[in-house]
Amino acid sequence: MTAYKYLYIIRHGKSVRDFKDVPDYDRPLKEKGINDSYKIAEKLMIKKNIPQLIMSSPANRALHTALIFARIFNYPVDKISIIKDLYMSSESENMELVKEIDNPIKSVMLFGHNPSFTDFANSFLNEKIDELPTSGVVCLKFETDTWKNIGNIKPVEYFFDYPKK
């Protein structure tokens, strides 16, 4: 029997940039970011792309996006793993994080930021994307039974979706 792992790389929704005294870490989602996040989460729900694990950057905009997806998937919000290292992470740090996921877990959604999420997604893709847009998702399907293999193999399938598509 063939084993698969599914990795969803999701950039946070569109956020507010015009608050002078609000640190980057605390920037909230715009109404558009909230609506776009619901739109993409609902599209994934229709396809039955429901994660076993949700991991999010602690930054307000990423965590809010993760909460929206959790709501759509009926995923317990207290089970969202808040990973400090997903804020201001690098492609290699993202890879190491994925390699440490417990093997019984088959599907994981990561919520975070650019540029590292675009770089991370592109490390797996033959056809590179210019930028992972806000509320955009890259889903990668790997033929493997262990997360430790993810950095050494290419996905057998993938899809890329975002609100304006």
Rounded Cα–Cα distance for residues 75 and 96 (Å): 24
Strands in the chain per DSSP E: 4-11, 53-56, 81-82, 107-112, 137-143, 157-161
pTM for this predicted structure: 0.96
Which residues does 38 contact at the CB level (< 8 Å), separation at least 6? 68, 72
| Structural domain count of the chain | 1
Q: Give the domain range for residue 30.
A: 4-161
Report the CATH number that the domain containing residue 51 is assigned in CATH.
3.40.50.1240
Return the pLDDT at 1.
61
Return the pLDDT at 20.
79
Q: What is the pLDDT of residues 55-78, one digit of tens each?
A: 999 999 999 999 999 999 999 999
CB atoms within 10 A of CB 34: 17
